[in-house]
């Protein structure tokens, strides 16, 4: 997809802040269920959904461990999985960049032509900051705003 120079390699990690918020939000949701006057079947069904949501969110956050994102100058990104698999991807339109958090989705097509995607929610605590490159969080946000989102806009304009 791209052979351009790489700007930055970002190693991801699980964010303790996000892990705590996952547990707190789901605990509050579960507690609310027991304070409501619902039929037993509805309470059990909703409790199972809250537990399933907790497990799904926890697994998504811990899956970031050992993953790296290699950011390219042309707005592409290599999503490198911890177990050796990697994929060239593009940031899809709709990313949101704030000083404290970023939300974005990566999209790619495999060798069989099937489309795949993965959504990310990252905070500064979820990005490893090595001593030799202490500004990776800032550089990721700048790259998303100026390279990746610009490229995503161009890709959608070309498709129309």
The alpha carbon dihedral of 64, 122, 15, 57 has a sign of: negative
Domain boundaries, the chain: 6-14+66-159, 16-62
Full-model pTM: 0.71
Q: What are phi and psi of 88, to 5 degrees?
A: -75, 135
pLDDT by residue (tens digit) across 58-106?
998 888 887 888 888 777 777 676 655 677 788 888 888 999 899 988 8
pLDDT of residue 152: 62
143 exposure class (CB count in 10 Å sphere: 0-12, 13-18, 19+): buried
Task: Give the least confident one: 27-36, 40-49, 64-73.
Answer: 64-73
Give the tokens for residue 70. Answer: 């290699």
Give the closest residue to 30 by CA, choosing from 15, 45, 17. Answer: 45
pLDDT by residue (tens digit) across 113-154?
888 888 888 888 888 877 666 788 888 898 888 876 676 666
* Length reported for the chain: 160
């Amino acid at each position: 997809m791209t052979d351009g120079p790489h700007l930055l390699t970002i190693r991801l990690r699980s964010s303790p802040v996000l892990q705590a918020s996952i547990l707190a939000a789901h605990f509050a949701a579960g507690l609310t269920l027991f304070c409501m006057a619902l039929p037993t079947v509805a309470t059990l069904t909703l409790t199972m959904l809250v537990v399933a949501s907790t497990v799904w969110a926890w697994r998504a956050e811990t899956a970031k461990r050992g993953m790296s994102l290699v950011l390219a100058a042309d707005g592409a990104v290599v999503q490198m999985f911890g177990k050796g698999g990697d994929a060239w991807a593009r940031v899809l339109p709709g990313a949101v960049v704030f000083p404290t958090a970023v939300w974005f989705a990566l999209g790619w097509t495999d060798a069989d032509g099937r489309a795949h995607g993965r959504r990310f929610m990252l905070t500064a605590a979820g990005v490893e900051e090595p001593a030799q490159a202490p500004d990776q969080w800032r550089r990721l946000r700048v790259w998303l705003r100026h390279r990746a989102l610009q490229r995503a806009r161009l890709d959608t304009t070309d498709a129309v």
